[in-house]
Amino acid sequence: MPEQLFLYGVYAIHVRPLELQGARWDAEYEIRHHDKAVKSWTTVGGDGGLSNAAEAIDLAHQQAIADIEAGAGIPKPRAFP
């Protein structure tokens, strides 16, 4: 499955699935602003992974949004929605 791109306000969230052994999946995400990474690639999924790539991508997307909302070292522009 190719890398997925989600837009959230002024940020672009890049998510790519990672296939593990035994048909299990993790995913990693990177948050960018104006094509510059403001949070480098971070892996989600846990020790056992998830049962399919779509679940892993959804989990990474949700975690990226939570990171943006919580700050997580990511500067918020003045025009953030």
Number of separate domains in the chain: 1
- With contact defined as beta carbons under 8 Å apart, do 14 and 27 qualify? no
Q: Write down the pLDDT at residue 66.
A: 93
Q: Write down the pLDDT at residue 63.
A: 95
Q: Write down the pLDDT at residue 61.
A: 97
pLDDT at 80 over 60: no
Predicted confidence (pLDDT) per residue in 23-76, tens digit: 899 999 999 988 889 899 999 988 888 999 999 999 999 999 999 888 766 766
- With contact defined as beta carbons under 8 Å apart, do 27 and 57 qualify? yes
Q: Give dist(CA 49, CA 38) in Å, integer.
A: 26
Q: Write down the pLDDT at residue 79.
A: 59
SS (H, E, C) 45-67: CCCCCECCHHHHHHHHHHHHHHH
Q: Is residue 34 part of a domain?
A: yes
With cut-offs at 50, 70 and 90, classify the pLDDT of residue 10: confident
Helix (H, G, I), strand (E, B) or coil at 36: strand
Task: State the residue range of the domain holding 14.
Answer: 4-70
